[in-house]
Amino acid sequence: MTERRGAALFRDPQTLAIGPSSMRWDGAGLTVEIDEVTPLLPKRVRGRVRLYPEAVVNHPVVLDRDGHHCWWPIAPCARVEVELDQPALRWLGSGYFDFNTGEVPLESSFRNWNWCRASLPEGTAVLYDLVDREGEACSLAIRFDPGSGVTDFEPPAPAALPRTRWRVARATRSDAAGTPRILQTLEDSPFYARSVMETRLLGRSVTAIHESLDLDRFALPVVQAMLPFRMPRRFW
C-alpha cells in the first residue's frame, strides 16, 4: 500500500502493477505479488497471495441514489493461499475479493458505513450499512452461494459494538438470538477500524470480518495530514 506516480503504473487485460507489487489473472486465479516497505518502522513485506474464486459476480451494486459509487464483490467466495517470505508466514483459508469505485470522493457522498463479511458452509454472507450526506440510511444483506447464486435476505436487527481506541463508532446487525462481540481489532485508525467479530447470522454462529469507516473523520484536515505517515508516498 504505497502511493506512487503514474510512471510506476503498468496495466494490461491480465495484469495491474504499481511499482514492484502486482496482480495477475491467469484465467483460473488471481496472483498478488507483494513487495513493499511498512510505514513508521520500515520492514520489508514480500511474498504472494493466490486467490481462486468459487463464485463470481459479474456486475456491480450501486450504493448511492445519484449513482456515483459502486461496490463490486467480484469473488465473494474464494480459496486463498498465502506465502510470505518476509515475514515468513504461510496459511490457507477462505477469502473474498471486491472493490469500490466512484466518480466523486467517498466523503462527498457518505457520512459513514459499517460492513461485515462471514463465511458460511454454503458460501458467504455480507452486510453493508451506509449513511449518506443527507442522513439517509441504506442496508444491504446479501448471500452468495456457489451452488444457487446471489440472493438478498432480510437485514437482521441492528446491534451495537464498542467504540475503538480512537473512538470510532462501530455497529453491525445480528440475529435476535445472538450478541455480537469483537474478538480482535486488526486495524485501528482515527477514521477506520477492521476487526474480527463473533456474531450470529442466518441462524448460525459465525466468525466475521467487520469494518467501520467514518468519513467525517477522514475529511478532517488533521487526519488528511496524517495519511502520508500511514501510507507511504514515493516519487518513483
Over the stretch 150-172, which tens digit does the pLDDT of each residue have?
Answer: 999 999 999 999 999 999 999 99
Q: What is the mean pLDDT of the chain?
A: 94
Strand partners, 79: 52, 94
Residues 43-48: what's their mean pLDDT? 96
Residues 176-198: what's their mean pLDDT? 95
Residues 126-140: what's their mean pLDDT? 96
* Beta carbons within 10 angstroms of residue 207's beta carbon: 11
- In this prediction, residue 209 has a pLDDT band, given cuts at 50, 70 and 90, of very high
What does the pLDDT read at residue 177?
A: 82
- CA-CA-CA-CA torsion sign (63, 66, 69, 75): positive
Q: Is the pLDDT of residue 235 over 80?
A: no
Q: Is the pLDDT of residue 1 over 80?
A: no
Show the cell assigned to 96.
Answer: 473474498
Determine what percent of the chain falls in helix, strand and coil, rounding each to the nearest 5: 10, 60, 30
pTM above 0.85?
yes
Residue 146 backbone zone (phi > 0: left; psi -120 to 50: alpha; other: beta): alpha
What does the pLDDT read at residue 234?
A: 82
Residues 21-46: what's their mean pLDDT? 94
Residues 27-40: what's their mean pLDDT? 93
- In this prediction, residue 37 has a pLDDT band, given cuts at 50, 70 and 90, of very high
What does the pLDDT read at residue 232?
A: 81
What does the pLDDT read at residue 40?
A: 81
In degrees and rounded to multiples of 5, residue 13 shows phi and psi of -60, -20
